[in-house]
Amino acid sequence: MALLISGQVSHFYVGGFCMDAMGRLTRLMELLMEDGGELGIREIAQRTSIPKSTVQRMLEALEECGWLVQDARTQRYRVALRLLLFANEWRLHQELVRQAQGVMLDLCRATQQTVLLLVLEGQQGICLNRVEPERTIRLVAETGKRFPLHAAACGKVLLAYSPPDLQQRILSTPLEAYTARTITDPCNLREEIARIRACGLAYSVEEMTVGAAEAAIPLFFRKSDRFVAALSIAGPSFDLEGRFEEFARLLKDAREKILGTKEVE
């Protein structure tokens, strides 16, 4: 973070973004979300104390990004469905992290391995939450870290339960080899997807990182059976190899506690 001062005006810049502009954008979006209807440029400017010319530029940019929709007849703006879906997904992820945190801590203590919670974002997996053991040798994965979908157990679970069109896109593009054990043949990956869906479990040994292994399972919503995330145990391969069945049982128990329901075998 840096403080830039020009004359009598000072702005904070974070990651290249002016905090003054971000504050205006936040006020504009909060107004549209809270109102729930359609608003014109003049009304938005009056209620946010943002100059009309600035409001117009912001609205046009947000419309171009697909976050807002302008009514062709009234010329007024409303929140686009895309933004509402995004907000709902964000709330879902926050609630999932909250529900899973205590269970992940217990699982980490029981196994002395890293426990990860991942979701699908675009054509990658992203780590929503992680709990690491207090030991010298452990797998380290920061929250927000992105994972490929064809390597390691967590990525393969996300791929196995992703929409068919996404699976096809991944299978039709070159698969990067992270180690000598990474699956790079589309036919082999297709077989692995079928196996994971049949047994509801994925394993990996040194597919993404030499010396690392992982076991992962899918999490589903109780009412709709909608796939929402992957839960995994990851650590040194010398700790996990030969213990995958044990970790699979622990993962399934953890899933029951997170979702509040017993799995139907």
Report residue 256 as tokens: 């029951």
pLDDT tens digits, one per residue of 255-264: 999 887 444 3
Q: Report the C-alpha gap between 217 and 244 in whole angstroms.
A: 12
Q: Within its chain, how far is the Cα of 125 from the centroid? A: 6
Instruction: Work out the average pLDDT over 228-234.
Output: 94
Q: In this model, does residue 174 exceed pLDDT 90?
A: yes
How much is the average pLDDT of 104-119?
94
* Report field, pTM of the whole predicted structure over 0.85: no
pLDDT score recorded for residue 162: 94
| Beta partners for residue 129, in sequence order | 117
List the domains of the chain with CATH numbers: 2-79 (1.10.10.10), 90-259 (3.30.450.40)
Residue from 156, 90, 166 nearest 128 by CA:
90
User: Tell me, what's the pLDDT at 10?
Assistant: 36
Pairing outcome for strands 9-14 and 17-18? antiparallel
- Res. 16 pLDDT band, cuts 50 70 90: very low
Distance CA 138, CA 133 (A): 7
**Tens of pLDDT along 71-108?**
888 999 988 877 776 777 777 788 888 889 999 999 99
pLDDT at 92: 77
What pLDDT, on a 0 to 100 scale, did the predictor assign at position 56? 92
pLDDT at 32: 87
Q: How far apart are CA 160 and CA 158, in angstroms?
A: 6
Could you tell me which residue, 89 or 184, shows the higher pLDDT?
Answer: 184
